[in-house]
Each structure stands twice: as structure tokens, then as C-alpha cells.
Amino acid sequence: MKKLALMCMFIVLASSCFAIGIMPPSLFINFEPEKNHTFNFLVLDVKYDKVKIENYVRESYLSKYTTLGPLEKVGNDKATFNVTLSLPSKVDVPGVHRILVGVREMPLEEKRGIGAFAAVQAIIDVLVPWSGEYLKVDLIPQNLAVNSTGTFKIKLSNWGTANTTASLKLLIMDLNKAILSTMNVADNVFIKSFETKEFEVSVNSTGYAEGTYLAAAIAKTKLKEYSSEEEKFMIGSLKLKILDFTKTVIQGKINPFKIKVKSYWNDIISDVYAEVQISKDGIVVDTFKSPSYEIKPWNKLDIVTYWDTSGIEPGAYLTNITVFYQNKEEHASGYIIVKAKKEIPVALIVGGFILLVIIANIIIWIVLLRKQKEGEKSAKRKTKRK
């Protein structure tokens, strides 16, 4: 048994809104042996009256080559600092090496309770080239309207130490990765080490059905083929329709409220949810929201939410339904009938019970009477035999 004196206090930090920002948020440099770089950062939105700040470099593959400069206050809510990166003569592991430089808020003094503080980090990516040939292909597709033309962007970067020549293609695929179209983008593209070239490709959606597709850019050299990530893009627009919804509910209870929707799209639509507004005579009586659902391609789905009709009078109510999905909305409206709860009167229950008791008694009485008569008859028979 514990004493009442065991008390915990969660009286927390004084009211405040903590914020912090950093600029620039990311930098990208190519590795050059023994080269020194100095990066300047600006820290924004510092609430000096509420917090103190400290800067740091997170430990990583190249962090040992950095030197962190001190924070210097600028104005009422800003600070600056710099980071010097002294690159070594050689780095063994090729690729993009990330250095994270950050600033975090700290409490001015130890206070009671659970507090929340923010930190922001800037990225310094250092590209260490691969020995020989290495191409990186990036594709940025564009969603297209039906029977229209759009532009896909391709970025070709040489992350190797050797210059090379490549041809570039764009593939359009269905979601099963079956190739629907191959477009030749460029032939004999000469690209130097550390160089990046950008290409724009016109893609026409004529002849394609509405839906989600995949695209990939392929760069081919004499030695190897390099592919971008397979990127999704859409032709047409996502379609989802409200087919039906609950039209009657019972007063004074928590009723399930179903909204039947159908997807007219060839891919999964996630984050589908509904908001329902119930009103009468222009006055909103209640609003409620459903959880999020995922609907499979071309499938029907019941979005289920619940309406508590406690305190709601029986009658017809206007229902406005909005189904949200992927930054789109689908609307439906109609009337819902709130039916009065069917309650059996107490007198009827008591009367019915009494009637049941009487019937049971009559049955028992009849059975007993019959048994008594049969007993008397058998007694008479025995007497006659004697």
C-alpha cells in the first residue's frame, strides 16, 4: 500500500512556440583531393529569450575532415556559423558521402515536465567518383491528360573518373513492367567526368488508357547499361465514385454509417476517407469523419464510420458526404431518416409475463388433472379384478 505522499509533478515549461530554421538546407560538391571548402550557414527563427542553441556536425564517413565554427548571434532571432571541410588526398569508398551539420535548441535552464525542442540539419553531400566509368540517370516524369503531350526530364550525370559516350532511351511500361513504348532520346552523348547533362522528352498520351504507368530512362555505353529508378506517372486522373450510403439509422444509439465507393483507377488509391455532415433546416446537427482506407484497383469498398444519434430527434436529415483521396474530393448528398427507437411498453411486458405464467399454470393444472384421472381409473380396475 503506497502513501499518498508519492506525488509526481508534470508542471511543464512555460507557454512558448519553439522554432528553428537553417539555410541553405543542402549542398553538393564534387570530391577534389586536398581541397578546402568553407560553408556558411544562417540559423533562423531563434527564440533567444526561451532557448539557447548549439551547433554540431553528426559523425559520418567524412565528418572527421570538418571543423565547426562557433555560432555568432545576428540580430534578435538569427545566428551564423561556418563549417570548413578539408578534403583528404584520397577517399577509398566511391559514392555520395553525406555530412550532416545541425543546430538544436536547448532549454535555457532545467525545468519541470516534458518539453519539446526542435533541431534542423543541413546536408553537405560529397561525391567521390567511381574509378573509370559510372553514370547516374535520374528521371522526372509528368502526369499527363488523356490525348495530350507532356515533358519528361532526364538528368545524366557522370560520377566516374573517365569520360564516356552514351545513348539514352525512355521506356514506358505498365504496372507489371511490360514495355509499352521505347523512345530514343539521344545518341552518342559525350559526357565528361563530373559533368551533368539534362534532356527533355515530349511524351504523348494518345492511345493510352487512363491509369498509372511506369517510366524509366536507360543510358547505354559500350561497357554497360545504366537505368534510372522506375518512376510512376498518371494518364488521366484518379477516379472514385460514391455509389451509395446509409439512408436510415435508429435514434439514441451509435449507428454504423457506410459509404460505398468504387475505384475507376488501375492502381491502389490510399488515404481514402470520408467526412459526413448532417443538417436540418440549414443548421448543421453533426459532423463526423471516417478512418483512412485503401481501395484496390477497380474495386468497391465500404467506408465505415459511426454516428451517435443520442439527442437527435427522429425525422429526415440532409446528409452531405465528401470523400477525400489523393488531393481530390468526391461529393454526394441525400436524406437520412432517423427512426424512433422501438421501445416495448412496460405494461405490455408485465402483461405478457403474467399471461405466460397463467398459460403455464393452466398447462400444469391440465397435466395434473389428467394424471389424477388416470390414477383413479387404474385404482378402479385393480378393485374390479380383486
Partner 1 sequence: MGEISNNTLAMLVGVAILLTLIAVLTPRGPVYITGRATDVGVAKVNISKFVAINFTDDIIDWGTGYVAEGAYNCTLDTEGNVGATCSGFTAQNNGFTIENIGNRRVVLQLKTGKDATEFINGTNPVYQYKVSEAEAGACGGTLQPTTYTDVNTTDPGTTICDNFLFQNPKDSLNIDVKIVIPSDSNTGLLTDTFTATATEAT
| Of positions 108, 118, 179, 284, contacts partner 1 by CB under 8 A | 118
Phi, psi of 161 (to 5 degrees): -85, -15
Question: By CB under 8 A, which span of 13-21, 79-87, 256-264, 350-358 interacts with partner 1?
Answer: 13-21
Can residue 113 be called a binding residue for partner 1 (CB under 8 A)?
yes
Residue from 77, 72, 39, 38 nearest 55 by CA: 72
Query: Is residue 183 within 8 Å of residue 201, measured between CB atoms?
Result: yes
Question: Is residue 89 a contact point for partner 1 (CB under 8 A)?
Answer: no
Considering beta carbons, is residue 78 or 258 the nearer one to partner 1?
Answer: 78
Q: Which of 35, 64, 73, 111 binds partner 1 (CB under 8 A)?
A: 111
Contact 369, 281 (CB under 8 A): no
Could you give phi then psi for residue 354, rounded to 5 degrees? Answer: -60, -45
Classify residue 85 by burial, with Cβ atoms within 10 Å: 0-12, 13-18, 19+: buried
**Shortest Cβ 368–partner 1 spacing (Å):** 55
Are 242 and 321 a contacting pair, CB within 8 Å?
A: yes
Asked whether 310 and 286 are in contact (CB, 8 A), the reply is: no
Cβ(319)–Cβ(284) under 8 Å? no
Among 32, 36, 58, 180, binds partner 1 (CB under 8 A): 58
Give Cβ neighbours of residue 356 (< 8 Å, ≥ 6 apart): none
Alpha-carbon Rg of the chain, whole angstroms?
38
Stretch 161-220 residues interacting with partner 1 (CB under 8 A):
none
Q: Cβ of residue 198: shortest distance to partner 1, in angstroms?
A: 18
Select 102 or 252, whichever has its Cβ closest to partner 1: 102
Asked if 76 touches partner 1 (CB under 8 A), the answer is: no
Contact string (CB under 8 A) for partner 1, positions 264-283, x = contact: -------x-x----------
The only residue of 40, 74, 86, 123 in contact with partner 1, by rule CB under 8 A: 123
Rounded to the nearest angstrom, the gap between the alpha carbon of residue 313 and the centroid of all alpha carbons in its chain is 38
Nearer to partner 1, 63 or 221 (CB): 63
Conformational region of residue 147, where left means phi above 0, alpha means psi within -120 to 50, and beta covers everything else: left
Compute the distance between CA of residue 159 and CA of residue 195 in angstroms, rounded to an integer. 8
Looking at the Cβ atoms of 13 and 318, the one nearer to partner 1 is 13
Sole binder of partner 1 in the list 35, 112, 300, 371 (CB under 8 A): 112
Binding partner 1 (rule: CB under 8 A), the pick from 67, 73, 84, 107 is 107
3-state secondary structure of 363: helix
Contact between 231 and partner 1 by CB under 8 A: the answer reads no
CB 177, min distance to partner 1, A: 23
Shortest CB 26 distance to partner 1, Å: 5
Q: Report d(CA 180, CA 178) in Å as an integer.
A: 6
* Residue 109 contacts partner 1 per CB under 8 A: no
- In the list 48, 65, 117, 288, the residue contacting partner 1 (rule: CB under 8 A) is 117
Which positions from 18 to 37 touch partner 1 by CB under 8 A, shown as an x/- string? xxxxxxxxx-----------
Beta bridge partners of 198: 155
The Cβ of residue 298 has, within 10 Å, a number of other Cβ atoms equal to 11
- Indicate the length of the chain as a whole number: 386
Nearer to partner 1, 194 or 273 (CB): 273
Where does this chain bind partner 1 (CB under 8 A)?
1-13, 15-26, 44-45, 58, 100, 102, 104-105, 107, 110-123, 125, 271, 273, 324, 327
